[in-house]
Amino acid sequence: MADEEDDNGFDEELDDGTSGVDVGHGKRKRLFSKELRCMMYGFGDDQNPYTESVDILEDLVIEFITEMTHKAMSIGRQGRVQVEDIVFLIRKDPRKFARVKDLLTMNEELKRARKAFDEANYGS
Amino acid sequence: MADPARIKVGDSSERTNSAAEQQNPKPSEADPAKTPHHQSSHHQSTGENKDASSSQDQSKQDEAKSESAAGEDEEEGTSGQPDSKRLKVEPEKKKEKRHKVDEDEIQKMQVLVSSFSEEQLNRYEMYRRSAFPKAAIKRLIQSITGSSVSQNVVIAMSGISKVFAGEIVEEALDVCEKWGETPPLQPKHMREAVRRLKSRDQIPNTKHKNILFH
C-alpha cells in the first residue's frame, strides 16, 4: 500500500542522519517505539509487532495527548493544564476515569508512605 | 484499588473466611451504560446488604442479584435503625465493604495469576510493567502548553494514554479476528479500529467544527 511505502521512505531518511527536529508531521523522531512495542505485546498483539503498526499507534497516542492538552487548556484556568481539567474531560469514559482516580490515589499513598518512612529514619 | 480483570469464582467454599458472599457478577469497567460513581455506589450498597443479610439468612445466596432486588434489600436492612445512627454506621460499613471487596478481588487475582502458563505470565508482566516514559510525556505536554506542568498531570496523562493505546489494540484485535486473520496486527486493522472507535466517539477530534446556523 502506498502509505506503507511512504513510511519506509521516512524511516530511510531518518537512518541517513536527519536530526530529530520536527520537520513535518510524519518525520518526527519516534518517541515511544520501545515502550509501545512492549505495550502492544501486553495488550494481546504478537511478541514482535509490525513497525508500521507501532508507528500508527504512536501517531494516534501523540494526537490524543495533543487534543487532551488543548482541551484542558481551554477549560478551567486558561492556558494551564491541571489535573482537575483532565479528570473533568475524562468523566464520561468509565475506564479512563477509574484509572486516573486509581493512579492519583496510589500516588498519594506512596507519598505518604515515603514521608512516614523518612521520618522514621530521621527519628532513629 | 480495583483490578481490571474481574473473575467470578463460582466455588464459594474457597472463601470460607470472608463473611460477605460476593456473588454479584460485576459488570466490566468499560460498561458505557453506567458512570463509575453510580457503579461503585451500587456495588457498595448491594455488598453491604449482602453482608447484613448473609449472617442472618444463609439461604439468600443468589449468583446474579438484580439491581431492583438490591434496592428492596436496602430498604429492609436499614429500616429498623434510627436515622442518626444509620447515617453514622453507613459510611463505616461502606469503607469496610470496599476493603473487603478489594481483598476479594486481590484473592481472585492471585488465584488467576497462579494458574497462568509461561507465555501468559510474560504477557501479563508486559501488560503491567509497560509505561510511557514520564520525561517524554512531560516534554510533549510542555511543548504544547508553553508552560510547565505539575507531576500529577504527567502521571494522569501517561495513565490515560496507556488505556487509550489498550483500547485501540483491543479493537484492532477484534477486527483482526473478525476478518479471519492472525496477529501480528497490520496497519489496516489499526485503521479500521480507529474508524470504529471514532464512530463511538471514543477518539477526541476537535478539527471539525459543526457550524449550526450558517
pLDDT in tens, B2-21: 454 444 444 444 444 443 33
As a whole number of Å, the end-to-end CA separation of chain A is 67
Candidates A104, A43, A51; CA nearest to B125 is A43
Report the distance separating Cα B207 and Cα B214, nearest Å. 18
pLDDT for B75 beyond 80: no
The answer to whether B177 and B164 are in contact (CB under 8 A) is no
Beta carbons of B41 and A104 less than 8 angstroms apart? no
Residue B42 in grid coordinates:
451500587
Can you tell me the ipTM of this complex?
A: 0.78
Distance (Å) of CA B134 to CA A39, B81, B147, B158, B163? 15, 51, 16, 7, 15
- Contact: B35, A42; criterion CB under 8 Å: no
Q: Where are the beta strands (DSSP E) in A32-84?
A: none
Q: B179 touching A, CB under 8 A? A: no
Cβ atoms B182, B175 nearer than 8 A: no
Question: Residue A53: its chain B contacts at CB < 8 A?
Answer: 172, 184-187, 189-190
- Which of A28, A41, A102, A114 best probes binding to B when mutated, by most B CB atoms within 10 angstroms? A41
- Rounded CA gap, A11 and A50, in Å? 14
pLDDT digits (tens, 9 = 90+) for B115-135: 999 999 999 999 999 999 999
Quote the mean pLDDT of chain B: 71
Query: Which grid cell sits at B50?
Result: 449482602
- Give contacts of A97 with chain B, Cβ < 8 Å: 36
Q: Which residue in chain A is spatially nearest to B168 when comparing CA positions?
A: A57
Cβ-contact A32, B128 below 8 angstroms: no
| Interchain CB distance below 8 Å, B165 and A52 | no
**B193: closest chain A residue by CA:** A57
A vs B, Cβ pairs < 8 A, gives 181
Q: Which residues contact B88 (CB under 8 A, 6 or more apart)?
A: none
Cβ–Cβ < 8 Å for B146, A19: no
> Could you tell me the end-to-end alpha-carbon distance of chain B, in angstroms, rounded to an integer?
49
* Min Cα–Cα distance to chain B from A63, Å: 9
Q: What is the DSSP letter of A37?
A: H
Instruction: Count other Cβ atoms within 10 Å, centred on residue B126.
Output: 17
- Cross-chain residue pair A32–B140, CB shorter than 8 Å: no
Query: Could you read off the pLDDT of B81-121 as tens digits, one per residue?
Result: 566 666 666 667 777 776 777 889 999 999 999 999 999 99
Give the count of alpha carbons within 13 A of B31, CB side only: 13
Cβ-defined contact of B145 to A69 (cutoff 8 Å): yes
Those residues whose C-beta lies under 8 Å from the C-beta of residue B126, and which sit 6 or more positions away, are: A38, A39, A41, A42
Residue B80 has a pLDDT of 59
Tell me: the pLDDT tens digits for B154-172? 999 999 999 999 999 999 9
3-class DSSP state for residue B99? helix
How many Å apart are CA B64 and CA B148, to the nearest integer? 49
Q: What is the pLDDT of residues A27-61, one digit of tens each?
A: 678 999 999 999 999 999 999 999 999 999 999 99
Q: Looking up cell 496486527, which residue turns up?
A: B185
